[in-house]
Amino acid sequence: MNATVIVPVKPWALSKSRLGVDARRADLARAFALDVLEQVGNASSVGQLVIVSAEVELGSVARGHGAVLLTDRPMLAPNMLNVAIDRGRRWAMSRRPDAPVVVVPADLAALTAVALDSALTAMSEYQRAFVPDASDRGTTLSWAHDPALLLTQYGHDSAKRHVHDGVKAVRHVDPRVRQDVDTREDLREVRRLGVGQHTQAVLRELEALTRAPAPAARFA
């Protein structure tokens, strides 16, 4: 398939404020993204990985995956995600105009290369398609046969807005492709589905902190 995959990555410190694990949310955001990038890099349908981010650590990560890193300013406003994606789309139009393009969010913590390949095969039947998230209100993957056709509407009720724009909803895919992580409930679900090694490591550390006994009181 030789698809161009755009992965927009919010800087770790600005990510996952709704998870309720403030002490480690940046670590979890980093782990989610590293696991996603690893699986995208292993997918047979991917021809080029394009990362759009202001996170400085991703320079070495991109080189390790043979990816292109487009440096983006921190995504501080809700619509900045779509702005970051459009930067990747314009790169694809210039460098790989004949290849299909797909957006893969950086928080699909249970994603596998096989699940991604299968989803892209299903989406490739359409000129433009998207995968609704597990709630059926948001969006995970966004696809276009031609980079010029990709127009994303990530944000509140994005699934409804994508349908309104004439983009085909593809729901019959592996649940790992539909489960992003915004809340504790989402985190429990990706753990059930199975997460990558980086996410596993952070979750083990969080469990150890939870089990650790409180320090004994000290008296003068």
Predicted TM-score (pTM) of this structure: 0.91
> pLDDT-based confidence at 210, cuts 50/70/90?
low
Percent of the chain clearing pLDDT 70 (strictly above):
88
Residue 22 in this model has a pLDDT that exceeds 70: no
Q: In this structure, is residue 35 part of a structural domain?
A: yes
Q: In this structure, is residue 176 part of a structural domain?
A: yes
Q: In this structure, is residue 29 part of a structural domain?
A: yes
Q: In this structure, is residue 219 part of a structural domain?
A: no
Q: Which two tokens stand for residue 72?
A: 């983006």
**For the residues 34-49, what does the mean pLDDT come to?**
96
Q: In this structure, is residue 207 part of a structural domain?
A: yes
pLDDT tens track for 149-203: 999 999 889 999 999 999 999 999 999 999 999 888 999 999 999 999 999 999 8
The count of domains in the chain is 1
CATH (domain of 114): 3.90.550.10
Q: In this structure, is residue 216 part of a structural domain?
A: no
> pLDDT-based confidence at 205, cuts 50/70/90?
confident
pLDDT tens track for 87-111: 999 999 999 999 999 999 999 999 9
Structural contact between residues 103 and 150, judged by C-beta atoms closer than 8 angstroms: yes
Residue range(s) defining the domain that contains residue 16: 3-211
> pLDDT-based confidence at 26, cuts 50/70/90?
confident
Q: What is the pLDDT of residue 130?
A: 98
Could you write out the DSSP letters of every residue in the chain?
--EEEEEEE--GGGS-TTSS-TTTHHHHHHHHHHHHHHHHHH-TTEEEEEEEE--TTHHHHHHHHT-EEEE-----STTHHHHHHHHHHHHHHHH-TTS-EEE--TT-TT--HHHHHHHHHHHTTSSEEEEE-TTSSSEEEEEESSGGG-----STTHHHHHHHTTPEE---S-HHHH---SSHHHHHHHHHH---HHHHHHHHHHHHHHHSPPPPP---
Q: In this structure, is residue 149 part of a structural domain?
A: yes
pLDDT tens track for 105-148: 999 999 999 999 999 999 999 999 999 999 999 999 999 999 99
Q: In this structure, is residue 11 part of a structural domain?
A: yes
